[in-house]
Chains A and B, each alone.
Chain A
């Protein structure tokens, strides 16, 4: 089990692509209608808090992954049980992300190609990347991220030039007040995409400098949120709220609007690139989280599991739901409550309490101060 190191830029790139991932494919905060961007803005603050919370958790025991933390808190036997839960959760999420991509390809680009083939191909790539290790994944996302910025920039310019943008579509701001925003914040934006950062608790230890790591991850979340807000505004001013609500893939529909002088048009490929990169990184990171869990449980290098489990993800990404509506409904109605909330916030919160309690005890034991105070308490039980 070699220790892999990733640089701070790589961590930022991973976070950025991870957060964009499927969020940019299916659009987020749509409950808030044309105030979606405000909702995302608020969610960003919560997202920053979330990642600091995970860092805080990991800093209690530096150099340990989520799974080792579980062991520390609950003992190995119970930790293995919980780890299995986390592994399945990460695999499931990976499958969902791949399914998002499969649906995108199948409904917008290649309707005659079986979704199985699409899932298998991308999962094979993911499996291979993870076989080579986290460093390769980090480098991949680091290399492609500049293109991401370039393409978003290009898309904006094209939309501006082709005259499809109407800023008045953002009005009225806060017409219905804060209610729709709160509705889209909880549990929607809180758990997806920001809460999903829980999987990074497996990756944080690969950053050598934890202080700078925290700062870098805040920057990563910030930049990603900026892009999400930006794309949200872009979608609203191009398509209008109704257009977004009617689109399965709003950003793709937005790109389809581009037409400059019968010459620059049909630039869907740009958007598909953005989405594919996000999906690739997000799917990989989730799979990596699961593989690290397997490594922890079975004490075998995670590389051994990568290809087989990638294939498993491909398999389940197809079986996960019968149709697209089922897929979305599951993702909006069931997953946040039954999977996201417990795994993203429930268990970590319990862990935090136990950790703080155990460490307090540990510290006091070392200094001996605790022992004395305990005796004091025993001495006068009646008062």
Chain B
């Protein structure tokens, strides 16, 4: 009898104690926000546009052909205020913790108005797992509106797209909020972000019909990489340079490199493993940076007639591969050194870690040292195998 009373009391108490107190939210009263877009405002500082998805439409079984999400924008001076004010248009409580993509317009970035990152870092709901992108040449809010057949909502599509991109080719610096802030607060590194744009007509992109076409009227594409000086956008690097950038950063997962083997003939090396180490130190007022790359690849296509049973041929191709990688990486570094003079590679950080005493003296003037740094790239490339063929059929074509 006593036990029963105790049990009842415990059940009764837990009703009050296990509900999350004042912070409880019912599933039926919330909407999940998947993406945010920040544009420059006319009256206020920013225009914040958010997309809240309709979960029913995202599920193929329950979808009934309505719009997958609702996009709405508000103008004001701070993101936090706007994010909480969104109920001027939305009926449910908005949940920001599942946000997948943050899109910042080129204009905002060019003005260096990234102060809102503080709110994103501070807020307890928002996490460090969303992509940060620059909308190049288009309004950030338009990118949220473009529909897509598979994920339907644009932020979800971009999140998956960039993830696949990183896994297959590289080309996305894969910047998260923490990386961004770490770069902003460090003296030896400047921030970067991936930039996306819309191919096609943004106006037509916001309709459901856009999802019904084989060639959509508008599609969001990965365009380039934006580079910053502190909070200010300074320029863009193309996708090949972006890949070289993540190659140096040791973030490369897999990629395909097309290497010339004869004039206007190429072979493809599928890089599946890569390790990069950067060593740096200051020597007589000059920064010396050594980038050591160790790459493993397999040959996955050649346009030259090559006898790929022989070790010498492998050797030759490895040399070509090494040379190409070295040339590419050096090109990108010199380009950034000459054109922008911004240490996006974090060489300063490496020098700081490896040669702290010297670095401390030049810390505030690192940009100058980066511009004049002597860069050395060492590449060791290994071609391990050649797909499921040995000799290319090109070696015995009967003419």
Contacts and interface: CB of A to CB of B under 8 A. Distances in A.
Given A110-B21, A242-B182, A171 B124 contact: no
B356 A172 contact: yes
A264 to B, nearest CB: 12
A117 interface: yes
Given A114-B22, A243-B182, A109 B353 contact: no
A121 interface: yes
A330 interface: no
B23 interface: yes
Interface in B178-202: 178, 181-182, 185-186
A175 B121 CA distance: 28
A113 B128 contact: no
Given A111-B23, A112-B22, A242-B182, A121 B17 contact: yes
A243 B178 contact: yes
Contacts, number: 53
Contacts of B20: 110, 113
Contacts of A114: 22
Nearest to B121: A246
A335 B360 CA distance: 34
A259 interface: yes
A237 B178 CA distance: 13
A240 B124 CA distance: 19
Interface in B314-347: none
A380 B255 CA distance: 98
A258 to B, nearest CB: 10
Interface string B345-368: 000001011101100100000000
Q: How large is the interface on B (under 10, 10 to 19, 20 to 34, 35 or more residues)?
A: 20 to 34
A9 interface: no
Contact of A110 (B23, B127, B182, B360): B23
B23 A112 contact: yes
A256 B127 contact: yes
Most buried by B among A108, A117, A168: A168
A107 interface: yes
B21 A242 contact: no
A239 B129 CA distance: 14
A113 B22 contact: yes
Given A110-B21, A112-B22, A121-B17, A175 B356 contact: yes
A259 B124 CA distance: 16
A117 B17 CA distance: 10
B22 A257 contact: no
Which residue of B182, B350, B354 has the most chain A CB atoms within 10 A of its CB atom? B182
Nearest to B163: A262
Contacts of A108: 124
B164 to A, nearest CB: 13
A101 B352 CA distance: 37
A215 to B, nearest CB: 41
Given A113-B21, A113-B23, A172-B354, A256 B128 contact: yes
Nearest to B360: A175
Interface in A174-193: 175
A265 interface: yes
A257 B353 contact: no
Which residue, of B97, B129, B181, has the highest number of chain A Cβ atoms within 10 A?
Answer: B129
Contacts of A113: 20-23
Interface string A58-73: 0000000000000000
B353 A172 contact: yes
B124 A107 contact: yes
B315 to A, nearest CB: 34
B353 A171 contact: yes
Interface in A81-121: 107-114, 117, 121
Contacts of A257: 128, 178
Given A112-B23, A113-B23, A172 B17 contact: no
A112 to B, nearest CB: 4
Contacts of B360: 175
Contacts of A243: 178, 181-182
B347 to A, nearest CB: 13
B89 to A, nearest CB: 23
Nearest to B21: A113
Interface string A236-280: 000110110010000000001101000001100000000000000
Interface in A309-331: none
A172 B349 CA distance: 10
A242 B188 CA distance: 14
A168 B353 contact: yes
Contacts of B182: 240, 242-243
A256 B97 CA distance: 12
Contact of B129 (A112, A242, A259): A259
Contacts of A240: 182
Nearest to A239: B178
Interface string A276-309: 0000000000000000000000000000000000
A240 B350 CA distance: 14
Interface string B113-148: 000000001001001110000000000000000000
18 contacts: A108-B124, A109-B124, A110-B21, A113-B22, A113-B23, A168-B350, A168-B353, A171-B354, A172-B352, A172-B354, A175-B357, A239-B178, A240-B182, A242-B181, A242-B186, A246-B121, A257-B178, A265-B129
Given A113-B21, A168-B350, 20 more contacts: A110-B22, A112-B21, A113-B20, A121-B17, A168-B353, A171-B353, A171-B354, A171-B356, A172-B353, A175-B356, A240-B182, A242-B185, A242-B186, A243-B178, A243-B181, A246-B121, A256-B127, A259-B129, A265-B127, A266-B127
Which 4 pairs between the two chains have the least Cβ-Cβ distance?
A171-B353, A172-B356, A175-B356, A113-B21
